[in-house]
Structure 1
Amino acid sequence: MQTDIDPRSLIGRKAFDRKGTKIGTVDEVYLDDATGVPEWAAVRTGLFSRDAFVPLEPSEFVEDSLRIPFDRALIKDAPDFGVGRHLSPEQELQLYRHYGLDSRSEPAGSDREFGRLAGQDE
């Protein structure tokens, strides 16, 4: 995803799954603690539904909407940590696993590779 985008501009935007099906509306954006780069979005999945966390990488901001490259069912089944609170590293790992993403495949220059922080040797 574009890293130069203002995270506040994502709030209120429509979110769509990989098939173009509307999932909901971006409710909140979560920044990486170390870099300040937008990392996760909470998407309100319906009027009386909860928010689902979605990764902003590899999602794309296209035509004023967020395109998430996962199926709607997978997104709706994402772990629910509630919104408005900080995501812990453990919660982030659960989300990475849920989406089948490698938490260590972060942009070059990132100093928060979980493997290294966990004390694993390179």
Structure 2
Amino acid sequence: MFEVEDIREWRDHDVVDDGGHKIGTLESIYVDTATDQPAFATVTVGLLARRRLAFVPLTGATVGPGYLKVPYSKQLVKDAPSIDTDGVLPAEDEPAVFTHYDLKYQTGAGGERRLARR
């Protein structure tokens, strides 16, 4: 897995799918609040007038020269829950992000959020 400090260097680099097709550009990293490890990234997708930030898990992602490769198809990422480019992920929308990728969602012991932007 990536160290938070390392992955920040990849901001604005291309994000490509498992077939090498460009999905968009890396915008930010969300860490798992239980481990403080990178868990999801947001990717800028869409046309200029309708850009948004789609969420994609970082599990299984690899870095290459100028890109981050995720093990998900371009279409799956583009169909993922998203926020406006200047938006914030509401706590009540977190489960949908995990569900989209068939990942288990669980809040912290005290009901804390699972994701935090870094």
* Shorter-chain TM-score above 0.5: yes
**After superposition, where does 1:15-94 map in structure 2 within 5 Å?**
15-48=15-48, 49-83=51-85, 84-85=87-88, 88=91, 90-94=92-96
Name which structure has the greater RCO, CA cutoff 8 Å, separation 6+: 2
Amino acid at match of 1:72: K
Aligned-pair identity in percent equals 35
Return the index of the structure with the highest Cα Rg. Answer: 1
Give the TM-score of the pair, scaled to structure 1: 0.71
Amino acid at match of 2:31: L
Aligned residues between the structures: 108
SS, match of residue 66 in structure 1: strand
Structure 2, unmatched stretches of 5+, are 112-118
Which protein has the bigger strand share?
A: 2
Give the TM-score of the pair, scaled to structure 2: 0.73
TM-aligned CA deviation for residue 60 of structure 1? 1.7
Amino acid at match of 2:109: L
Structure 1, unmatched stretches of 5+, are 104-113
- Structure 1 residues 102, 59: CA separation in 2 closer, same or farther (over 3 Å shift)? farther
